[in-house]
Structure 1
Amino acid sequence: MAKLAALRRTKIVAAGALGLCAALFIAAKILEGRYPGLGFVAAFAEAAIIGGLADWYAVVALFKRPLGLPIPHTAIIPANRDRIADNLGRFIEINFLAPGPVREKLEEVDFAVLVADWLTDEKRSAGLSRFVARLVPQMLTAVEQSGLSDFVAARMRAQIEKVQVAPLAAELLSTFTDERRHQMLFDEFIKVIGRFLNDEQALTAMRDKVREELPSLFNLFRADAYLLKKIVASASSLLEEVYADPVHPMRREFDHFVRRFVEKLKTSEEYARRAELLKRDFMARPEFTGLAGTMWESLRQFIEQDAAASDSTIRRQMTGMFVEIGKQLTADPQIRDDMNQGFVVALGSFVENQKSGVSKFIADQVKSWDFAQLTRLIEINVGRDLQYIRFNGMIVGGLAGIVLYGLERFVID
């Protein structure tokens, strides 16, 4: 409202100045015969009136038709709305969205520092983790629909088929037998046999077997019980001896057996063929065929449940990862430089590809404006300054009138 009031005051003053020039012109003309010097005043006032009217016309013609008359080339801004809009959009595209200026402006921004500062804030990283966790179900569904899980399963199967089982098993056994760790397995075997020899049911079964093999006469004297007791006692004594002696001959024999077996796995074609047959039989089983799907379902269920939990491990790990990424960015200037260059190239290419769309967007927005309201806003904001053109026109016109009048009086005459 203050601008509108100032504009109105300026218009009144300009109109008053024009009226004053008209009154001055009339008075000077009336008194010119008595006072010849007033001819200069009359010339000044006459030219000032002409200059003021001309500039009034020029200012008014920018926004509307002077006096409402349909004069050509008036109401310039409303009449040329579409052309102004297109030229404005094209001007911004050429001068503001050119590759050079855009790249220079982008290079002034340290995007990596902004990203690093944002990520090192644990609350922000936690918020980002929650956002990513909410997208987990959609991401898993997208993976399933894209066929990625089936592709991975097929690749895993293809890779497993390429694996030579026998050499791999030999390498694993060689690693296991380092520092005689296979003897621990032998110790466990001894313990199992010892427990078997002390099991009542096992002893009863063995005694029945001995009785079946002995002649009836021996059974009459209960030789089966005697023989079983001797066998069990001897076996238990031998097992205790082997268990207590780390260099017992039976242990050395077990070492030889394991080494020979590992060597055959490495070199024997027969062992390799049997291992491959075993692998193919295993892979042909329905349990293996559905293993990939079962693993995927289990993984999906775990991820979804954990992501939805209040104390989600996945979210906690992602938060720590994001914070650590921010710290690494802060500490490594080379990574920041590379990252900033990537941002400049990516954003520069985006602006270059989209700048024609930006130009059209600006033009469409300008075309959609209410130009009657727009011209009024322009007039309110800059109209006061435009009114001073009328003052300048009167002054310049008046001075020109004096010069022309002087030339007419003193040079031409």
Structure 2
Amino acid sequence: MRITATLLLVAMAGLFGFALHFEDSHPAWPWVLAFSEAAMVGGLADWFAVTALFRHPLGLPIPHTAIIPTNKDRIADSMAGFLRQNFLTPLVVARRMREVNVARAAGEFLVQQREGEAGRLRAGVIQLAVDLLQSLDPDRLGNQVKAGLARQIEKVEVSPLLGKMLDAAIADQRHRPLVDGMIRWTGETLEANEDMVRAMIQNRANAVLRWTGLDERLANSVLDGLYRLLAEVLVDPGHPLRGKLEAGLAGLAADLQADPAMRAKVEQLKNDLLSNPAVGDWWMGIWERLRLGLIDMARDPNGALGGQFGQALKELGETLKADPALQLQINRLVRRTVVGIASRHGEQIVRLVSETVKGWDAQTITTRIERAVGRDLQFIRINGTLVGGLVGLAIHALTLVV
């Protein structure tokens, strides 16, 4: 476009010379002369103005030319100030964010994706997760997570918490499966060690019982009585022994909350567990299996993280589109976050813009601005040439009338 504007200016200069030579040969030539003369003046003036923005015309150090390279630091500060005052103020950002339904837009994007786009999005997110899990040092991350969990657990006094949980379970009758389990476990343990119990009873029987064979009957009676007792306790909610078990649980709940000695024992047990290397090794094993399992699932295109991930994204999008309450919450969160960033970091952002522009050399900033708006500036030159010619015709007409 610069070549076009320059050729038009050269053409007007040539036309001016041609019209000047034949001015007296025909009545039309004075009109051509007036048009070309004014067009040449207008084109030259606009060429000078456009060129003066970026460099010295013809290399001459004329004052107030090469405006952009000479004033690039001031331009940088002005751009930063304009950005700060008109775009990064909390009021402007908040007003603009109120007009944007971020949650609904995200939902529509997730729902309306074509199959290929959905696959690329899913693959991109999954690959990002895999790369993240692989790039992190598993031992270091596992130790950091373990240390973080340990610090949080150390801050919590476990005993009162356990006591309240047990109290709540007893109040809601949710302790009964625990009691039933204890009774069943006792019966199973007794059955598994029946031979040992028989031997203990027989060894403690006197010689007369052993000589008469009554020791075997005694052992059978004891075992049968124990089995019958456990069965009765298991099926009868009002059995006295069950009541004693429940009373013991209630007492344990009270001691966990109020007994200093019990609370100290529980805290000591907790600290011993946290400091036990075996617990640390157990956690590291769990963490490594979890990490490798997540990587394997993510790589499997038909797995939970692969084949179903796209469907999960689509369902998330449908929820975002259809739930105004969720949209309101997400939009409010996004708005507060963006406004907070503008409020807290607005100065750093505009300073970054200013310092970046100031860091460019004069040639760089001139080239970038000229590349961005140069085409429009060349149209200004063309328009100036043509408008100047029309003004020349108007002036020539006025001189003839007057």
TM-score band (shorter)?
0.5 to 0.7
Instruction: Name the CA distance, whole Å, in 1 between partners of 2:38 and 2:134.
Output: 76
Helix, strand or coil at the partner of 1:258:
helix
Instruction: Name the CA distance, whole Å, in 2 between partners of 1:268 and 1:93.
Output: 66
Deviation at 1:98, TM superposition (A): 1.4
Deviation at 1:394, TM superposition (A): 3.6
Structure 1 residues 278 and 165: CA distance shift in structure 2, 3 A: farther
Consecutive unaligned residues in structure 1, runs of 5 or more = 29-37, 407-413
Matches within 5 A, 1:109-258: 109-120=100-111, 123=119, 124-125=121-122, 127-136=124-133, 144=141, 149-163=146-160, 175=173, 178=176, 182=179, 185-186=182-183, 189=186, 192-193=189-190, 199=195, 203=198, 206-210=201-205, 213-214=206-207, 223-235=210-222, 238-239=225-226, 242=229, 252-258=239-245
Deviation at 1:368, TM superposition (A): 0.9
- Structure 2 residue 318 is the aligned partner of structure 1 residue 327: yes
TM-score of the two chains, using structure 2 as the length reference: 0.64
Aligned equivalent of 1:384: 382
Cα deviations by residue, 1:27-67 (Å, 9 ceiling, x for unpaired):
79xxxxxxxxx9xx98x899778756644542443448999
- Structure 2 residue 49 is the aligned partner of structure 1 residue 58: no
RMSD: 5.4
Helix, strand or coil at the partner of 1:163:
helix
Consecutive unaligned residues in structure 2, runs of 5 or more = none
Instruction: Name the CA distance, whole Å, in 2 between partners of 1:165 and 1:50.
Output: 99
Instruction: Name the CA distance, whole Å, in 2 between partners of 1:359 and 1:111.
Output: 30
Q: Which amino acid aligns with 2:132?
A: L
Structure 1 residues 399 and 21: CA distance shift in structure 2, 3 A: farther
Instruction: Name the CA distance, whole Å, in 2 between partners of 1:287 and 1:53.
Output: 90
Deviation at 1:281, TM superposition (A): 5.2
Instruction: Name the CA distance, whole Å, in 2 between partners of 1:103 and 1:187.
Output: 64
- Which stretch of structure 1 is more off in the superposition, 223-232 or 238-247? 238-247
Aligned residue-pair number? 374
Aligned equivalent of 1:411: none
Larger radius of gyration between Structure 1 and Structure 2:
1
Structure 1 residues 97 and 233: CA distance shift in structure 2, 3 A: closer
Instruction: Name the CA distance, whole Å, in 2 between partners of 1:319 and 1:302.
Output: 25
Matched-pair contact (CA < 8 Å) for 2:202–2:215? yes
Aligned equivalent of 1:35: none
- Structure 2 residue 301 is the aligned partner of structure 1 residue 304: no
Instruction: Name the CA distance, whole Å, in 1 between partners of 2:79 and 2:135.
Output: 44
Q: Which amino acid aligns with 2:393?
A: I
TM-score of the two chains, using structure 1 as the length reference: 0.63
Aligned equivalent of 1:31: none
Structure 1 residues 290 and 5: CA distance shift in structure 2, 3 A: closer
- Structure 2 residue 248 is the aligned partner of structure 1 residue 261: yes
Deviation at 1:305, TM superposition (A): 0.5
Cα deviations by residue, 1:248-297 (Å, 9 ceiling, x for unpaired):
99x9452354255345546679x946644643553454675446634542
- Structure 2 residue 94 is the aligned partner of structure 1 residue 94: no
Deviation at 1:308, TM superposition (A): 1.5
